[in-house]
Chain A
Amino acid sequence: MDFATFLWTTFGAFLTLATFSFLYKDNPFYKFAEHLFVGLSAGYFTIILWHNGLIPKLMFQRLDDGSSYFLWLDSSRPWYLIPALLGIMMWTRFSKKYSWISRWPLAMYIGIGAGAAVPLEMRARVNEQLSAMMRDIDWTYFFGHGGFNFLDTTSGLSQLIVFIGALCALMYFFFSTPHTGLVGGMARFGIWILMIGFGASFGFTVMARISLFINRMQFLDQQWIQSAHDTTNPNYHWGYPLLFYLLILVVVVYIVREIVVHAGKKNTASTGPVS
């Protein structure tokens, strides 16, 4: 790793530590990292949108021979002008007098979105799921393929659990009948099914959050700490460990300062205010 890359890696390590410092309490380092992230993301997204959306789709049409057409004036696709005009019409929202114009592109956008979404979403999320729930129970492999396997999602038992679970969970949201007797029992079982689902989501979420922390540990170890002490690196010089220990020093100074401030507050609280 050359020194310039290591400089950026050290900055990445600083931002990692600054972000994790929020677990202790809000502080200027965290605020800096947070604002930098928000600004950087917005800036990066704007540039990506400019180069991947507006330039190739609106401004220029690039040809195989390397030449480009300015789409609005001399293009094989002059109809690109129509969405461009619709896009410009959206900006009238900033004017009180002309903001009604923006309703036209908005209406078209919502219409296209709904038209594309409704049949496809209905098919993928409702019809297919209903069809999967209504399949014949696999009695041959009721307890799993190749012996008893509770985790086999294709076994007859799993199909039965999914069928009963879905029915009971739906019953919980059926409010036209009082939840008493059989309906009440089914609704109660439905709650349990929902809770198990939320529990599974929570478990996966815990894994996800720990994964992020582990990844940062791997980054700090593999890319920062090891690079700072990699004497086999042909570019290695005193600057590498200097940067490393400088950042460590900042962390240590911050921790010591917090301990001192905390102890000071504790002493003031125990002795009481001086009148």
Chain B
Amino acid sequence: MNIFDRLMQIDRRWVFLFLVILCVIAYVADFQIPILIEPEVESIFTFIDTLPKGSVVFIPMDYDPGSMAELHPMTYAIVEQCWRKEIKVLITALSQNGPGMADQALRDIADSMLVPKTYNGVSYPAREVVNGVDYVFLGYKPYPALVILAMGQDFRLPFPLDYYGTPVDSLPMMRGLHNYNDLACAINISGTNATDYWISYGQGRFGFPLAIGVTGVSTAQYYPYLGSGQIFGIMGGMLGGAEYEELADNPGNAKDAMRVQLFAHLVIIAFVIMGNIGFFATVRKRKRQQREGR
């Protein structure tokens, strides 16, 4: 048995173990790698950064804890950027297992607002973010496509009450806020096919500016919508989150994870090359044996 045969018979668990050890080493090692900013992420940052105070940004957090690894970093960075710049945020969670997680995330970000910070050379004082004034969390309703269409008429149709059971009409932020026409933009952060609904039923039907943040698995399939101008920005997976954190000068878990990603990808590329070499060498050997057998 030569090295190529051994390569083809290697137990996949050794690959997993090797990858885990390398990831742990890269995680423990204290160094940073440069983050290349893509224009499709920068366009979202610039859009929010140039909004006047008091504007309303709509952030549908359509994901559940299974996708929070990839999508939480962008949510944290965008919501904090909005609040620091005194931009109001309207939130829904149209994934059935997401409302509790979204509520917790909002509380976490509200807590971080209690600390004064400096981002991109601008100092922001500490301030208390008030529910109903700085943000409204509408919560969950089933059937996202129908909810998106209904919100195009009035947010009050699917959501007469917010997530906490308060009538929406009694919230100061909702005065004069009726449908998508009253928003600066919507940034859909989604781990499900809700993004399709937002593109077709939301932007397609009502024509508001839409950007998306999606999981790595589905990033490639949404790039055509960027080229056609149906969305003005796209953040793909943890890398998209890391780029946004870099732009917002607010490093978090995504940027911290990029060095581990780098080494993990290198290892996987090496294994893919080794696997291919082993495969083709084995095929060649089998063909040679068949020829000699004849």
A: which residues have CB within 8 A of B? 23-24, 41, 44-45, 48-49, 52-53, 56, 61-64, 113, 116-117, 120-121, 123-125, 128-129, 131-132, 151-154, 158, 162, 197, 200-201, 204-208, 210-218, 221
List 13 extra interface pairs beyond A128-B204, A153-B227, CB under 8 A: A53-B142, A62-B167, A113-B145, A124-B230, A125-B200, A129-B228, A132-B229, A207-B239, A212-B70, A214-B238, A214-B260, A215-B70, A215-B253
A interface: dominant SS:
helix
B219 at the interface (CB under 8 A from A): yes
Q: Which of B115-123, B176-184, B261-269, B284-292 contacts A (4 or more CB under 8 A)?
A: B261-269
With a CB–CB cut-off of 8 A, which chain B residues contact A121? 200
CB-CB nearest in chain B for A221: B27
Interface SS, B side: helix
A211 touches B227 (CB 8 A): no
Q: How far apart are the CA atoms of A206 and B225 in the complex, in Å?
A: 23
CB proximity of A113 to chain B, nearest CB, Å: 8
- Given A41-B97, A48-B140, A214-B27, also A204-B236 (CB < 8 A): yes
Do A52 and B142 contact each other (CB < 8 Å), given the known contacts A207-B216, A208-B216? yes
Q: Once the chains bind, are A124 and B70 in contact (CB under 8 Å)? A: no
In the complex the two chains form, is A124's CB within 8 Å of B13's CB? no
Instruction: Tell me how far the C-beta of B178 lies from the nearest C-beta in chain A, rounded to whole angstroms.
Output: 17
Task: Given A62-B160, A120-B201, A125-B200, check contact A52 B139 (CB 8 Å).
Answer: yes
For window 147-169 of B, CB contacts with A under 8 Å fall at 149, 160-161, 165, 167, 169
The residues of B with any CB-CB pair to A shorter than 8 Å are 13, 16, 20, 23-24, 27, 38-40, 68-70, 96-97, 99-100, 139-142, 145-146, 149, 160-161, 165, 167, 169-170, 199-201, 203-205, 215-221, 223-230, 236-239, 253, 256-257, 260-261, 264-265, 268
Chain A contacts of B68 at CB under 8 A?
215
A110 CB to closest chain B CB (Å) equals 13
Contact B99 A48 (CB under 8 A): yes
Which of chain B's residues has its CB closest to A198's CB?
A: B220
Tell me whether B257 and A215 are in contact (CB under 8 A). Answer: yes
Please, how many angstroms separate the alpha-carbon atoms of A61 and B156 in the complex?
13
Q: Which of B23, B169, B227 contacts A64 (CB 8 A)?
A: B169
Residues of A within 8 A of B170 (CB): 64
Q: Please measure, in the bound complex, the distance between the C-alpha atom of A4 and the C-alpha atom of B225, giving whole angstroms.
A: 47
A186 to B274, CA, bound (A): 32
Q: Nearest residue in B to A45 (C-beta to C-beta)?
A: B96
Complex Cα gap A130–B24 (Å): 47
B149 to chain A: closest CB distance in Å? 7
| A210 proximity list for chain B (CB < 8 A) | 23, 260-261, 264-265
Minimum distance in angstroms from A150 CB to a CB of chain B? 13
- Please give me the residue from chain A that is nearest to B165 by CB atom: A62
A204–B261 CB distance below 8 A: no
Distance, CA A116 to CA B148, complexed state (A): 12
Q: Is A56 touching B161 in the complex (CB atoms < 8 A)?
A: yes
Docked-complex contact A23 and B16, CB < 8 angstroms: yes
Given contacts A52-B142, A128-B228, A212-B69, contact A207 B238 (CB under 8 A): yes
Q: A23-B13, A120-B200 are in contact. Are A207 and B265 (CB under 8 A)?
A: yes
Instruction: Give chain A nearest CB distance to B58 CB in angstroms.
Output: 18
Residue pair A211, B145 in contact (C-beta under 8 Å): no
Kindly list chain B residues whose C-beta atoms are within 8 Å of the C-beta of A152.
39
A117–B24 Cα distance when bound, in Å, is 47
- Which A residues are in CB contact (< 8 Å) with B253? 215, 218
- Chain B residues near A24: list those with CB within 8 A: 13, 16
**CA–CA, A148 and B201, complex, Å:** 37
Q: Which residues in B have their C-beta under 8 angstroms from that of A117?
A: 145, 200
Identify A204's interface contact among B167, B169, B204, B216, CB under 8 A. B216
| CA–CA, A129 and B204, complex, Å | 12
Q: How far is the CB of A172 from chain B (nearest CB, A)?
A: 17
Q: Identify 16 residue pairs between A and B in the complex whose beta-carbon atoms are under 8 Å apart, listed by A's number.
A: A52-B140, A116-B201, A117-B145, A129-B228, A131-B228, A151-B38, A211-B216, A211-B257, A212-B69, A213-B264, A214-B27, A214-B238, A215-B68, A215-B253, A217-B23, A218-B257
